[in-house]
Structure formats: structure tokens, C-alpha cells
């Protein structure tokens, strides 16, 4: 294979030796991700014609490498550039560059919210850098600050620390011929530039906490809170309430989701029991997990009903925190007194959490990346069957979020992986990939098709089973990495 490089870089004309272009020194592919890294180099015609400002403008630009038949085999972007001039080596990289920064600082009190542990400043961004480089984000973590201080800290970080593209200057022991080197990364690594978070997926009323309502005793057998869904279907998975036990009850607490029947709870749609052991420890946020997800229709009123699983007991019972300011506009709180539902001038503090399959979370993240111009599409070949909260606090990068979901695999214990293909489409699939390609590892470390035909492209080989040398036919391993060098060609990375 004689790889050909395609670079559309401003100001490159006249810098390189005539008829000597860019050479590919090494290419790597692995799972997850696909194209991982590539090293390119080119001789410099006249170092005095080098414009460092022009070279630095190449950072982040696209790199495409093709085989001799014109097929794209590696695609990514420029992460580092080095220039050798006699004994001096100049280098620049995207490592420290930033175009957007946000600050994270502690929540005033974890009693207010069962999920959010932090507060965030507004995003600050550098318009020029954003236009040239695209979104390259960072989050700084602060302690004991207010909103204004956090905003100022984010701005300072962006302006003072987010504009450095230098890697330093090295003095070599011996002179070298003038040469440019490029270190490129695949598009999967570009997903590490932006942070992942999701605001949707919660239906909650969190204010209050100064009042409580009892349940599980005569006159207050059950509590119920109505709520209304938004404009989209809400796939309910988790239910949070803030409560405690009073006395020493030994039974459990059941939460039911019911339809609305003339402004009182109707038929039961789903239920979940929280064991007594999980209710111990005083006041706290408690979570009920549904055994199966429940799709709640959009723009519809439902009821959340809480009851004990044992007999009523006026000495040993339960309590839930409420908001006596009636701050929730889309529902009512009622108490079952043994014969009827009685309206209370309060609202329960509750948090309903929607869930999605992990592969649907991957799809949503990829679609946002498409909107940002990094990817061109997404294809989910294998659904995971594993359900996770849709809401996520801003924390991980998109790349790390995808990797964490892939590590969970499928509900049937199949392994999941993904890569960005040559068309910059994110593909998610199970391992080993189908269909099977009969590839054999030879004793010299090279790969060959058992049929003798030419090897497929590197991305087509990743995630497939390969036959081991001098083994039985069923002795196979999954190919998870590949490396191409000028000296050895294409070899597996074990």
C-alpha cells in the first residue's frame, strides 16, 4: 500500500520540496474509535519562507489519507505540528487551546436536589477562536464561590490559559535537514473537545422541605401527588422522594403511578417497592426504580401514590417532605383518610427521571456532534437493551461518555463498540462484527485472507474474528487494533 495524503492547508505552496509532498510514516486504528493517529512528514524547501503564523493556523484542520485506488483509509485532524530547522525544533499543538469555558461550583445544599451536586456559570467563549477552531471546551472546578466569581474565573481561564498553542522550543544535539512533521488524530478523538450533558429528562418539584406529611397511620393511610407531562412522551424509570421513618416500622414503602380519574388517582400503571433497609438513616432522598420502563403520554395528568406495604400503625409510620408554599402549578397533593381523598394545601417534593437505552443516548450525542459539524451522521446497528437516566450533569466529554456507555455492553451480555467511519459517520455495533471475514494471522505477524484475495480496508477488519496461526479452526481472537508503517506494512496491534 502506498498511502496518499490530502491536505488543504493555506499558505503551504512554496514551503515543501518540489515533487516530494507529504509522506505517511505511520497510521493507527483501534476500537473504540476507528482511526486513532497518523504521523506525516515533509521536507522543507526553504526555511526562510516558513511563516509560523500560517503553520499555526493549520491546527485542527482536516487530514485525509487514501490508498492507491483512491479509497479513504484514514481521516482525522491535525493535533500537533513540528518544524525542524538545523538544531532547533519548534512545535505547536491544540492541547491547551480553548474556545469555550464554563465554571462548576458546589450546590448550596444537597438537600435541595437529589441529582444536581453542582451549579454552573454561563458559558464564556472566544468568538474568533470558535470560528477558526470550532468548539473546544473546558470546565474549571471551583470551591466556595458565588455565581459572579465563577463567571469571572471562567473568563480569566479562557483569556489567559486558552490561547497557548506552543509546545516549546527544543535544542537538538545535532543538526537536521529542514522538515515539517504532523501528528494527526481521528475524528473520534475530536469528540473529546466538547462536554456532554443533558438538561431534559426530569419532571420535578424540588422547593420546600420545611413541612412534612405523614402516611401509614389511621387518617393518613396514603399520599398522592398529581403531575403533568410535557410536550414529549416521558419514559419513566426512577422516582425520587425525600422522606424518613418515624418510630420503627418494619414494612416497606410502595410507590404507584396511576392514571387520573376525575382529579383523583385511577388505575395503576406501574409500581415499585423500596425495602425498609433503604429507608433507614433519617431524612434523605430515596429512589424507587421501576422494573420496566413506563411511557407516559405527553400533555397528560398522572398521579404518584405512596403507601406502606404493611398494616397501619400509629406508633410506627412514615413521613414525606412537602412544599407548603404550593409552588407546583401542574398538580395537587391529596391524602387518603380511609374513605376519600382530601386535598392538602401542600405539594410533595418529587423528582421523576426519564430513561433511555444507552444506544439512544449515543445517538443523541452523535446527532448533536453532527449539528456541530464534526460528524456527518450516526448508525446504530445494535441496540443495547440497557436503560440509563437521560438527564446528565455536565461532567464528561462526549468521547468519554460514549466510551462509558460502550463499556456497559448489552443486556444480553454482548460487547458493544463503535468507530467513526471514512464518511465521518459514527457506527455502533456488537462484537464480533458480522458478517465474518476469513482473516488469518500469519506467523510473521502479518494478516492475510484465507481465500488469498486482498485484505479489506483497516476499518472493515476492526472488531472481526481472526484465525490464529497453527491453531484449530475455531481458535479465534477479535482484532481490536491495527498499525501501518512504511517498513512493515499493515500489522495487528495486540
- Residue extents of the structural domains in the chain: 4-94+165-193, 100-161, 207-348, 355-431, 439-492
pLDDT > 80? residue 306: yes
pLDDT > 90? residue 172: no
CB 223, CB 264: distance < 8 Å: no
Average pLDDT over the chain reads: 92
> What confidence tens digit (pLDDT) does each residue in 254-298 have?
999 999 999 999 999 999 999 999 999 999 999 999 999 999 999
Query: Backbone phi, then psi, for 130, in 5-degree steps?
Result: -65, -40
> What confidence tens digit (pLDDT) does each residue in 437-449 have?
788 777 777 788 8
> What confidence tens digit (pLDDT) does each residue in 119-156 have?
999 999 999 999 999 999 999 999 988 999 999 999 99
DSSP β-ladder status, 439-441 and 465-467? parallel
Q: What would the mean pLDDT of 465-469 be, rounded to a whole number? A: 80
CB 480, CB 30: distance < 8 Å: yes
pTM of the model: 0.91
State the Cα–Cα distance between residues 81 and 91, nearest whole angstrom: 6
DSSP β-ladder status, 33-43 and 62-66? unpaired
CA-based end-to-end distance of the chain = 22
User: Is domain 207-348 in CATH 2.60.120, yes or no?
Assistant: yes
> What confidence tens digit (pLDDT) does each residue in 6-51 have?
988 887 776 776 556 899 999 999 999 999 999 999 988 877 778 8
pLDDT of residue 474: 56
CB 383, CB 193: distance < 8 Å: no
Cis amide prior to 487 (ω within 30 degrees): no
* DSSP string covering 214-239: EESBTTB-EEEEEEE--SS-EEEEEE
Amino acid at each position: 500500500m502506498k498511502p496518499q495524503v490530502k491536505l488543504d492547508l493555506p499558505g503551504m505552496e512554496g514551503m515543501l520540496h518540489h515533487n516530494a509532498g507529504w509522506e505517511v510514516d505511520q497510521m493507527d486504528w483501534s476500537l473504540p474509535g476507528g482511526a486513532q493517529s497518523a504521523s506525516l512528514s515533509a521536507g522543507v524547501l526553504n526555511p526562510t519562507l516558513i511563516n509560523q503564523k500560517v503553520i499555526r493556523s493549520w491546527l485542527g484542520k482536516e487530514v485525509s489519507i487514501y490508498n492507491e485506488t483512491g479509497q479513504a483509509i484514514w481521516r482525522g485532524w491535525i493535533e500537533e505540528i513540528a518544524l525542524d530547522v538545523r538544531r532547533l525544533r519548534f512545535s505547536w499543538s491544540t492541547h491547551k487551546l480553548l474556545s469555550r469555558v464554563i465554571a462548576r461550583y458546589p450546590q448550596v445544599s444537597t438537600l435541595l436536589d437529589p441529582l444536581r451536586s453542582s451549579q454552573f456559570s454561563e458559558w464564556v467563549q472566544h468568538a474568533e477562536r470558535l470560528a477558526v477552531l470550532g468548539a473546544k471546551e473546558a470546565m474549571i472546578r471551583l470551591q466556595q464561590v458565588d455565581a459572579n466569581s465563577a463567571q469571572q474565573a471562567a473568563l480569566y481561564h479562557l483569556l489567559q490559559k486558552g490561547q497557548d498553542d506552543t509546545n516549546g522550543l527544543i535544542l537538538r544535539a545535532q543538526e537536521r535537514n529542514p522538515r515539517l512533521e504532523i501528528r494527526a488524530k481521528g475524528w473520534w478523538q475530536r469528540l473529546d473537545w466538547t462536554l456532554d450533558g443533558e438538561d431534559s429528562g426530569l419532571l420535578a418539584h424540588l422547593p420546600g422541605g420545611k413541612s412534612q406529611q405523614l402516611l401509614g397511620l389511621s387518617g393518613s393511610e396514603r399520599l398522592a401527588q398529581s403531575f403533568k407531562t410535557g410536550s414529549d412522551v416521558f419514559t419513566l424509570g426512577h422516582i425520587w422522594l425525600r422522606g424518613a421513618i418515624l418510630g420503627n416500622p418494619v414494612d416497606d414503602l410502595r410507590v404507584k403511578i396511576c392514571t387520573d380519574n376525575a382529579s383523583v388517582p385511577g388505575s395503576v400503571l406501574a409500581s415499585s417497592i423500596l425495602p425498609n433497609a433503604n429507608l433507614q438513616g433519617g431524612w434523605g432522598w430515596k429512589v424507587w426504580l421501576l422494573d420496566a420502563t413506563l411511557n407516559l403520554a405527553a400533555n397528560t395528568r398522572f398521579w404518584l401514590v405512596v403507601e406502606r406495604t404493611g398494616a397501619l400503625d400509629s406508633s410506627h409510620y412514615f413521613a414525606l417532605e412537602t412544599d407548603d408554599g404550593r409552588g407546583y402549578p401542574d398538580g395537587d397533593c391529596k391524602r387518603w383518610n380511609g374513605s376519600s381523598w382530601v386535598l392538602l394545601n401542600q405539594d410533595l417534593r418529587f423528582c421523576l427521571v426519564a430513561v433511555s437505552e444507552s444506544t439512544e443516548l449515543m445517538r443523541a450525542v452523535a446527532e448533536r456532534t453532527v449539528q456541530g459539524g464534526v460528524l456527518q451522521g450516526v448508525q446504530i446497528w445494535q441496540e443495547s437493551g440497557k436503560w440509563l437516566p437521560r438527564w446528565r450533569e455536565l461532567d464528561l466529554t462526549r468521547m468519554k461518555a460514549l466510551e462509558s456507555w460502550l463499556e456497559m455492553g448489552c443486556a444480553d451480555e454482548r460487547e458493544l463498540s463503535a468507530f467513526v467511519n471514512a464518511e465521518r459517520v459514527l457506527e455502533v455495533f456488537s462484537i464480533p462484527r458480522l458478517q465474518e471475514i476469513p482473516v488469518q494471522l500469519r506467523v510473521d505477524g502479518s494478516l492475510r485472507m484465507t481465500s488469498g484475495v486482498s485484505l479489506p480496508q483497516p476499518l472493515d477488519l476492526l472488531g472481526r474474528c481472526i484465525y490464529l496461526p497453527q491453531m484449530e479452526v475455531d481458535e479465534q481472537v477479535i482484532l481490536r487494533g491495527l498499525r501501518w508503517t512504511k517498513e512493515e506494512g499493515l500489522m495487528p496491534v495486540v
